Amino acid sequence: MQHAPAETPERKAFYARIDKQNMTPLWAVLNDLITPQPKSGCQPVLWRFDDIRAAMLEAGSLITAKEAERRVLILENPGLRGQSKATTSLYAGVQLVMPGEVAPAHRHSQSALRFVLEGKGAHTAVDGERTVMSPGDFVITPYMAWHDHGNQTDAPMFWLDGLDIPMIQMLDASFVERHEAEEQPIGKLAGESSARFGANLLPVDHRGNGPTSPIFNYPYDRTREALAQLAKTGAFDACHGIKMRYTNPVTGDHAMPTMGTFIQLLPKGFKTARYRSTDATIFVAMEGNGRSRIGDEDFAWGPKDIFVVPSWKAVTHEADSESVLFSFSDRPVQEKIGVWREDRGNA
């Protein structure tokens, strides 16, 4: 790394004068702006679902979903506290909807994903269509799509929220609107988007609907069946086990334009090779028990625990029992601008 030029009295005096004109010499800060490899305050961290669940239920006794608009506890990275960030570019939080509650309809510039952690039978509505949610379901809310959530079951419903809030914040492109009704009008049959786009078929005159997948619920039972079938082949990637990405059936691209979403299976006793990539990633252990070594730290995880692997940190996963990990990152953005990089085994 090239060192910054020495600071002489004359240079310091010059810097002080131009500082009053809102100018800074590039040569004094160049090494912090263009680094030899990724440099971030983002740290490896794990949140245990049991702790999250207990805190969420306490929050449920303190504030209603309607009053909060979204009753969510933000998962803040310890290296980025006060910024509402799980990684430098992504937000994560856990949402609770209690029996009989409605999280009111709104829409916003930020794209959102839901990954269901606990509860079955509650619903979310997106642009006039409702879907019933079950554990492991991956649900999409596209940019500026009306959405609300309701729980008519007798048990609380928990899911992970992932949003591109930091990216939209950086771009100064945030807008939000509240619907005049608590719940949006439902104008489509349940399952319509899946039938129209999720059966290896497309409407004959379909011309595209933007960068986000037209399917907004990817049910876990179908995903899990696919992983089980692939596991029978015994063809496990050294770094990932069996890892698949959720896709937009119209384009074959990532299901969401700003957040890549992935599901992977690790057979019992499997230990991955060391791996690193530039997309800081948020993981959820949907099934199983194991541990991940991230950099020089070890994290043991169990069902529904959530953990973060920062950009360019070496990671290995080891499964004590057959395990399924859901994850999401900003990989689609990095790929589009050509900066995504991985290192398989040489980290």
Q: Does residue 155 fall inside a structural domain?
A: yes
* Contact of 295 with 243, CB cutoff 8 Å: no
Number of domains in the chain: 1
Beta strands in 13-71 (DSSP E): 45-47
Question: In the structure encoding, which two tokens stand for residue 298, read together?
Answer: 């070890």
3-class SS of residue 109: coil
Domain presence at residue 8: no
Close Cβ partners of 62 (under 8 Å, ≥ 6 residues apart): none
Residue 67 is predicted with a pLDDT of 94
Angle in degrees, CA 41, 238, 222, rounded to 5: 90
Q: Give the domain extent around 202.
A: 45-344
Q: Which pair of tokens denotes residue 287?
A: 């099934």
The SS3 call for residue 229 is: helix
CA dist., res. 41 & res. 260, Å (int): 22
Position 145 in a domain: yes
- Residue 85: closest CA among 170, 5, 209: 170
The confidence score (pLDDT) of residue 346 equals: 61
Residue 26 lies in a domain: no
In a domain, 25, yes or no: no
Which pLDDT tens digits describe the chain residue by residue (347 residues)?
567 789 999 999 999 999 999 999 999 999 999 999 999 999 999 999 999 999 999 999 999 998 999 999 999 999 999 999 999 999 999 999 999 999 999 999 999 999 999 999 999 999 999 999 999 999 999 999 999 999 999 999 999 999 999 999 999 999 999 999 999 999 999 999 999 999 988 899 887 778 999 999 999 999 999 999 999 999 999 999 999 999 999 999 999 999 999 999 999 999 999 999 999 999 999 999 999 999 999 999 999 999 999 999 999 999 999 999 999 999 999 999 999 999 998 64
Residues facing residue 327 across a β-bridge: 262, 283
CATH number at residue 227: 2.60.120.10
User: Residue 347: its pLDDT value, please?
Assistant: 46
User: Measured over all CA atoms, what is the biggest interatomic distance in the chain, rounded to whole angstroms?
Assistant: 73
Report the pLDDT value the prediction gives residue 1, as an integer from 0 to 100: 56
Q: Is residue 286 a part of any domain in this protein?
A: yes
**Does residue 247 form part of some domain?**
yes
Cα–Cα dist 175/30, whole Å: 34
Round to whole Å and give the CA distance between 57 and 219.
26
Question: Does a structural domain hold residue 88?
Answer: yes
| Residue tagged 């070890």 (tokens) | 298
> Token pair of 314, please?
């070496």
pLDDT value at position 7? 92
Nearest to 182 by CA among 103, 123, 64, 112: 103
